[in-house]
Amino acid sequence: SVLAMIASFSSRESVRERFSVGLVRAGRYMPMIRDVFRKAGLPTDLAYVAMIESSFKTRARSRARAQGVWQFIAPTGRRYGLRSTRIVDERSDPVKATEAAAGYFRDLYELFGDWYLAMAAYDSGEGRVARAIARTGSDNYWELCRLGALPKETRLYVPSVIAAALIDKNQEHYGFRVDPEPPVEFETATLSKPIDLRRLAGACGV
CA dihedral 99, 68, 166, 181 (to 10 degrees): -90
Q: What is the Cα gyration radius of the chain?
A: 18
Q: What distance in Å separates the CA atoms of residue 51 and residue 115, rounded to the nearest whole number?
A: 17
- Tell me phi and psi for residue 184, to 5 degrees: -70, 125
Grouping H, G, I as helix, E, B as strand and the rest as coil, residue 165 is helix
Q: What distance in Å separates the CA atoms of residue 165 and residue 49, rounded to the nearest whole number?
A: 9
Grouping H, G, I as helix, E, B as strand and the rest as coil, residue 93 is coil
Catalytic site includes residue 181: no
Single out the catalytic residue among 13, 17, 53, 126.
Answer: 53
Q: Distance from CA of residue 146 to its chain's centroid?
A: 25
Q: What distance in Å separates the CA atoms of residue 18 and residue 8, rounded to the nearest whole number?
A: 12
Q: What distance in Å separates the CA atoms of residue 198 and residue 206, rounded to the nearest whole number?
A: 10
Between the alpha carbon of residue 64 and those of residues 111, 130, 134, 157, the distances in Å are: 25, 22, 27, 17
Q: Give catalytic residues, as residue numbers.
A: 53
